[in-house]
Structure 1
Amino acid sequence: MAGNPQGHQEGAAGAARPVGVLALQGDFREHVSVLRGLGAEVVTVRRPEEAAAISGLVIPGGESSVMDKLSRAFGVAEALKRRIAEGMPVYGTCAGLIMLADRIVDGIRGQESLGGLDVAVRRNAFGGQTESFEAELSVPVLGDPPMHAIFIRAPVVAELGPGATALATLDDGTVVAVEQGNLLGTSFHPEMTADYRFHQYFLQKVAGFDNGTARSSRP
């Protein structure tokens, strides 16, 4: 279970901080729905002041290069980098995984990321939309049963640095879920299934962050 999914980090005014979903582009509405269904207070995040007022963040799937450009244009990228450095829990799915990666193997010219995860990722690793597929994944940290995963123009972890831990792989060993401190990333889309254990796992991290037991992504 997700522990305390609501989150109760107190801000300067004494109000509990909600969980945020980056809402610049992509399927952010689906994540908002899942998190609210799990009992969390959720706000959408587009601006620096909104990034400062949350206790955790989900970065959705979408187009990573567009998300990167918009995050910088809206001025929210630097604010999110600061929050990541503070140990705030962040969960990135698909494009969100790319946004969290320290290194992008095949990014477009000028593409940047927020960073935090000691991994290199490869965009669209399986091909285009027509190469989308589904698979059953063993995720030991989440227990049984296996997770049904949906991959849509998905990235993969091409290089796993010493600071990061693989949480799930395909049958050929390709890493498709990773963890580092309070940061999580998956190549696939749990919000598109009825299995929300990754969201619950993320909310457990949020509860720990609220209680003052943040796990930084950096050694």
Structure 2
Amino acid sequence: MAQKVGVLAIQGGYQKHSDMLKSLGVEIKLVKFANDFDSIDRLVIPGGESTTLLNLLNKHQIFDKLHSFCSNNPVFGTCAGSIVLSKGESYLSLIDLEVERNAYGCQLDSFVTDLSFNNKNIVGVFIRAPKFVVVGNQVDILSKYENSPVLLRQANILVSSFHPELTQDTAIHEYFLSM
């Protein structure tokens, strides 16, 4: 059976993730309502603004449904999506990870750099990116930038502090689809 990937589409850069996944031949569902989770097999939580995203999740009453779905299915959070999945009082707390928001600087400090992932060179686009500051023992570090982890996996949860959807390289999305 073909998998259907949901892309959380209430705020942030969901269109680029959707386009990249479509380029891989994947059926996409833009997730905007609680019942949208019923028709997907996995989910991408895109970057954007984490406080705004959390407020909208609560306003639209889908925070609990999101938590339930992410507890049992493959999920990929980029930038703000990684913050939402991390440990914290108002976060989903589904990966043993503590983050520092905007730790790589403000919008003007955004940068592009080479990274290594699965013995391959990839490009990392960092835009107001969070830093992964405390990583639990059960979390696998898949890529680093200047000795700091920037791509992590714990069981069914994949997070990146950067934006792979803003490049032409599909390696990380392909990895997510194989989880």
TM-score by length of 2: 0.96
Give the number of aligned pairs.
179
Question: Paired residue for 1:165, among 119, 140, 145?
Answer: 140
Q: Which runs of 5+ in 2 are unaligned?
A: none
Q: Which has the higher strand share?
A: 2
Q: Between 94-103 and 55-64, report the one with greater CA deviation.
A: 94-103
Q: Which residue of 2 aligns with 1:58?
A: 44
Q: Which residue of 2 aligns with 1:80?
A: 66
Q: Which residue of 2 aligns with 1:126?
A: 104
Q: Which residue of 1 aligns with 2:170?
A: 196
Cα distance in 1 for partners of 2:128, 2:112 equals 12
- The one-letter code of the counterpart of 1:100 is L
Q: Which residue of 1 aligns with 2:158?
A: 184
Q: Which runs of 5+ in 1 are unaligned?
A: 8-17, 104-110, 206-219
RMSD: 1.3
Q: Which residue of 2 aligns with 1:89?
A: 74
TM-score by length of 1: 0.79
Is residue 137–residue 168 contact of structure 1 (8 Å, CA) maintained in 2? yes
Percent same amino acid at aligned positions?
Answer: 37
Encode CA deviations 1:149-201: one digit per residue, 9 max, x unaligned.
11000001010012211111112x11111100111000111111011111111
Cα distance in 1 for partners of 2:114, 2:90 equals 31
Q: Which residue of 1 aligns with 2:128?
A: 153
Answering whether residue 129 of structure 2 is matched by residue 143 of structure 1, we say: no
Is residue 52–residue 79 contact of structure 1 (8 Å, CA) maintained in 2? no
Is residue 51–residue 76 contact of structure 1 (8 Å, CA) maintained in 2? no
Cα distance in 1 for partners of 2:149, 2:96 equals 13
- Please give the secondary structure, in 1, of the residue aligned with 2:141: strand
